[in-house]
Amino acid sequence: MSYSIALAGKGGTGKTTISGLLVKYLEKKNKGPILAVDADANANLNEVLGLKVSQTLGEAREDMKKGNVPGGMTKDMFISMRMEEAIVEAKGYDLVVMGQPEGAGCYCAANNLLTQFLEQLTGNYPYIVMDNEAGMEHISRLTTRNVDVLLMVSDTSRRALQAAFRINELAKSLNIGVAKSYLVINKVKEPPSEKILEMIRNEGIELAGVIPDNESVYVYDLEGRPTVEIPENNPAVQAAYSIFDKIIEK
């Protein structure tokens, strides 16, 4: 049975970078094969991982809705073929990108087929890492469900923390099958203040740890270099790995 970790949080908090580091961590621990899922409409997990993406599941869904299915091919066959084509293979893990959100009109048939084939696909991987879009839309649409760990990523700003708190409350109220929730505070320039720690305690969320602000992350991103290639002795990478040690099933 797959062990799934979904990441969520306000935009700009670094959840995609942390998602990439988590994939790298799992691969280093020989937990593969791992399935990395980029469920953000503004997809860039592939850039963090240093992979090129030629097709997305959103494009397949759009083509099916428009009737762009080759003659003699059933819709099931079409979605299955396009899903296989959308999988990007790497050492120890694969990546699939959800891509563009739904446009106007009904996507029920395409979404049902995508859900069916995604469930079959995820069953082939011991670990799944899902990088979700910013905010709470993925939870309110129930696209993040039945996960072992919901990792909420925040920085030290009040708005980012409140977004994480709301995500946690929404996940609980929707009863979407989250086994465990954790908070990670990223881009930390100094230890969290007592006021921040009190806010976290009042919300009843377990703080898995903090990741220090680090210039290398910005430099790699600015230069278009995969951030997963940052040396493992980097303080930010070491802090992230220590957090993963706590939250990943041994």
How far is Cα 21 from Cα 218, in angstroms, rounded to an integer? 15
Percentage of the chain beyond pLDDT 70 is 88
Which of 18, 1, 14, 16 shows the shortest CA–CA distance to 247? 18
How far is Cα 150 from Cα 182, in angstroms, rounded to an integer? 6
Label residue 4 by pLDDT band (50, 70, 90).
confident
Q: What structural domains does the chain harbor?
A: 3-247 (3.40.50.300)
Region 56-83 average pLDDT: 85
Give 99 or 157, the one with higher predicted confidence. 157
Three-class secondary structure of residue 88 per DSSP: strand
Cα angle: 176, vertex 146, 24; to 5 degrees: 130
Percentage of the chain beyond pLDDT 90 is 50
For residue 33, whether the previous peptide bond is cis, meaning omega lies within 30 degrees of 0, is yes
How far is Cα 226 from Cα 52, in angstroms, rounded to an integer? 11
Show Cβ contacts of residue 162 under 8 Å, excluding neighbours closer than 6 positions. none
Pairing of strands 93-97, 88-90: antiparallel
DSSP state of 91: T
